[in-house]
């Protein structure tokens, strides 16, 4: 199952120990790590994000659900971006894009307090014991949430509702007197702009999801090729 994983540690030493353990689990086939980063929360409320060069094809975070999760955990004060993240400050920090519930963010941020460090990853795992055992042994507190498609359904329902309102306004506009037509037309234009913005956001999300899915396939192909080369 594709999941977002956040493991909170007391310091960077423990966090990097947890990161190495996570990549070892990936290496032995217990899980698949699609992307990861290490996020440090500072006393002043800022956050620093670092990522290794071995983050894989979707190690570039910008525009992905993983990138949005990083941005949400970084908090409103801002992010200082470390090496090889590819995530621009002020990038896509959107709960809908992250495809997880706000309760998950709340649970993590209650523990990810200043001076704590988190390993954040998007992984595929069949069962939770391997990750939990290794992370807890390194002193980490584990949070995980399956990546959800629910937000897309909510978005579609929202657009449908706005289109219904737009149709009603247009019907009223056709019958309205001149003084009322101008006010209705202004509302029609505003609502139509909102609909077009929602549709563009949906298109951007679909394209980002497609890119991310293709990148995941490349991760798995690369692992299979490496395993085959090692066996021969």
Higher-pLDDT residue of 86, 48: 48
By mean pLDDT, which of 46-60, 162-176, 215-229 is the weakest? 46-60
SS3 at position 15: helix
pLDDT band at residue 5 under the 50/70/90 scheme: very high
Q: For residue 16, report the phi and psi dihedrals to the nearest 5 degrees.
A: -70, -30
- Residue 171, pLDDT > 70, answer yes
Higher-pLDDT residue of 215, 56: 215
Tokens of 134: 């290794």
By mean pLDDT, which of 114-128, 146-160, 197-211 is the weakest? 146-160
Segment 208-230 shows an average pLDDT of: 78
**Counts for the chain of helices (H) and strands (E), in that order:** 7, 6
Name the DSSP letter for residue 59: G
% of the chain exceeding 90 in pLDDT: 24
pLDDT band at residue 55 under the 50/70/90 scheme: very low
% of the chain exceeding 70 in pLDDT: 78
Is 0.75 surpassed by the pTM of this model?
no
Reading phi first (left if > 0) and then psi (alpha if -120 to 50, else beta), residue 115 is in left
pLDDT band at residue 61 under the 50/70/90 scheme: low
pLDDT band at residue 82 under the 50/70/90 scheme: very low
Residue-level pLDDT at 88 = 39
Q: Which of 76, 85, 75 is nearest to 36 (CA)?
A: 85
User: What is the length of the chain?
Assistant: 232
Could you read off the pLDDT of 38-52 as tens digits, one per residue? 999 988 878 888 765
Higher-pLDDT residue of 59, 153: 153
First to last CA, the chain: 30
Q: How far is CA 140 from the centre of its chain?
A: 21
Residue-level pLDDT at 89 = 39
| Burial bucket for residue 172 (CB in 10 Å: 0-12, 13-18, 19+) | middle
Which residues have a Cβ under 8 Å from the Cβ of 120 and sit 6 or more positions away? 4, 5, 6, 36, 37, 38, 39, 66, 69, 70, 73
Could you read off the pLDDT of 15-24 as tens digits, one per residue? 999 999 999 9
Residue-level pLDDT at 119 = 95
pLDDT band at residue 57 under the 50/70/90 scheme: very low
Residue-level pLDDT at 81 = 46
Higher-pLDDT residue of 120, 225: 120
Beta strands in the chain (DSSP E): 2-9, 31-41, 47-50, 79-81, 117-125, 141-146
- Residue 96, pLDDT > 70, answer no
CB 124 within 8 A of CB 3: yes
């Amino acid at each position: 199952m594709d999941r977002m994983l956040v493991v909170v540690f007391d310091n960077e030493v423990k966090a990097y120990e947890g990161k190495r353990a996570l990549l070892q689990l990936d290496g032995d086939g217990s899980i698949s790590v699609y992307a990861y980063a290490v996020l440090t929360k500072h006393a002043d409320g800022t956050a620093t994000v670092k990522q290794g060069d071995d983050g894989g094809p979707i190690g570039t975070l910008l525009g992905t659900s993983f990138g949005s999760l990083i941005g949400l955990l970084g908090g409103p004060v801002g992010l200082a971006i470390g090496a090889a993240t590819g995530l621009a400050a002020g990038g896509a920090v959107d709960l809908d894009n992250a495809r997880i519930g706000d309760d998950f963010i709340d649970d993590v941020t209650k523990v990810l307090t200043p001076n704590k460090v988190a390993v954040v990853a998007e992984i595929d795992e069949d069962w939770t014991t391997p990750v939990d055992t290794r992370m807890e042994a390194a002193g980490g507190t584990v949070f995980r949430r399956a990546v959800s498609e629910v937000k897309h359904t909510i978005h579609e329902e929202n657009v449908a509702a706005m289109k219904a309102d737009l149709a009603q306004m247009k019907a009223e506009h056709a019958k309205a007197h001149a003084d009322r037509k101008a006010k209705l037309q202004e509302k029609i234009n505003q609502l139509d702009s909102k609909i077009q913005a929602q549709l563009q956001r949906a298109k951007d999300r679909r394209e980002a999801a497609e890119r991310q899915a293709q990148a995941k396939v490349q991760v798995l192909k690369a692992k299979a090729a490496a395993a085959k080369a090692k066996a021969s």
